[in-house]
Amino acid sequence: MKVAVVGATGMVGQVMLKVLEERNFPVTELIPVASEKSVGKTVNYKGKDYSIVSMQDAVEMKPAIAIFSAGGGTSLDWAPKFAEAGTFVVDNSSAWRMDPTKKLVVPEINANVVEKEDKIIANPNCSTIQLVMVLHPLNQKYDVKRVIVSTYQSVTGTGKNAVDQLNAEIKGDDSVAKVYPYEIFKNALPQCDVFSDDDYTKEELKLMKEPKKILGDDTFSLTATAVRVPVQGGHSESVNIEFENEFDLADVKKILSETPGVIVMDDVENNIYPMPLYSEGKDEVFVGRIRRDKSQPKTLNLWIVADNLRKGAATNAVQIAEYLVQKEFV
Ligand code: 2RA
């Protein structure tokens, strides 16, 4: 099948190619797409070089699936053109996520909402995906009432220039352009993305809105603080969950350990808990530090870590594409 990867030279695009290859996605013709300045350059897929093509050329090649990771503006402009040409678009930008006519999908949770008519399908934000992977099974059993999440986000979520900024600062090199308003090395910035009018960042608003749509449940409330830290392997989240119903801690651990795509790493006697250094390059969502909140009843604290470029972006997008194949929509 003809598969286009839009934004193939970016950090997420590169991981998408790797994940398609690793999972042996049935690609018969790869169409890497990137900005005009990259057209003619090549990307490697399964040991072969493929020439990057322009967006217009890619539309005309009518791929069965186009996986986009090219920014919201590009998705708004181009996803409909691919869709009109009959291509299924899996879009990793924020452009369509909260559009009521588009599905927002984490396959382990709500793949069943996808129908053949859904030509543009939205991939959730990275910090949302790892949160809902844990929230969903617990919501099914104990009914979530309120969630407080604080994130510790990897610079890879901002992109290559941010990784370059961190690495330059580690070396004491001042010549690299700064992506963040401050140094990131030896620092923690309580700002991921730009601020909106209500003093929350866009990242925090994504975290507060997307989970309800994915879980198909708007009966719980959620608040978030998103922080950028000098880390590369994945995003971490400290999460406080209040339930409507009393829970059993052993049962919580059992539910999570039986959830596909989630791995419980929780053995504090041996200092075992999830960390970004460990999650890097892995597809699962790791959860640990699972304990009762002693300050109030029916409330749980836990710590979630995942590679934001894998399950938080590329892997989830490829899983959606796999679902389209499995349902024979493509
Ligand atoms: C981040 N939400 O800032 C982004 C990546 N999608 O980490």
What would the pLDDT profile of 220-236 be if each residue is shown by its tens digit?
999 999 999 999 999 99
304 with 159, same domain?
Answer: yes
How does the average pLDDT of the chain come out, rounded? 97
| Residue 29: predicted pLDDT | 96
Q: Which residues sit in the known binding site?
A: 9-12, 37-38, 97, 153, 228, 308
Q: At what angle do helices 202-215 and 126-142 cross, to 10 degrees?
A: 40
Residues 46 and 97 placed together within one structural domain of the fold: yes
pLDDT tens digits along 245-261: 999 999 999 999 999 99
| Inter-axis angle of helices 126-142 and 249-257, nearest 10 | 130
Tally of structural domains, the chain? 2
Q: How many C-beta atoms lie closer than 10 Å to residue 127's C-beta?
A: 27
136 is catalytic: no
Residues 185 and 200 in one domain: yes
**Structural domain of 103:** 2-123+313-326
Closest Cα to atom 3 of ligand 1: 157
Given ligand 1 and candidates 15, 104, 160, 192, which is best to mutate, with the most ligand atoms within 8 Å of its CB?
192
231 and 261 together in one domain:
yes
> Element (H or E) spanning 129, and its range?
helix 126-142
User: Closest by alpha carbon to 94, among 65, 74, 108?
Assistant: 74
| 116 and 137 within one domain | no
Are residues 163 and 200 located together in one domain of the fold? yes
Are both 167 and 292 inside the same structural domain? Answer: yes
ipTM, 2 dp: 0.95
pTM strictly above 0.95: yes
pLDDT of residue 40: 87
One domain for residues 42 and 115:
yes
Nearest CA to ligand 1 atom 1: 157
**pLDDT band (50, 70, 90) for residue 285:** very high
Q: Which of 12, 9, 194, 193 is nearest to 90 (CA)?
A: 12
Nearest ligand 1 atom, CA 154: 7
Q: Is 87 in the pocket of ligand 1 (CB under 6 A)?
A: no
Specify whether 235 is catalytic: yes
**39 and 109 together in one domain:** yes
Tell whether 223 and 138 lie within a shared domain.
yes
- Cα–Cα nearest to 44, from 6, 18, 12, 70: 18
Q: Which atom of ligand 1 is nearest to the CA of 127?
A: 2
DSSP 131-187: HHHHHHHHHHHH-EEEEEEEEEE-GGGT-HHHHHHHHHHHTT---SPPSSSS--TT-
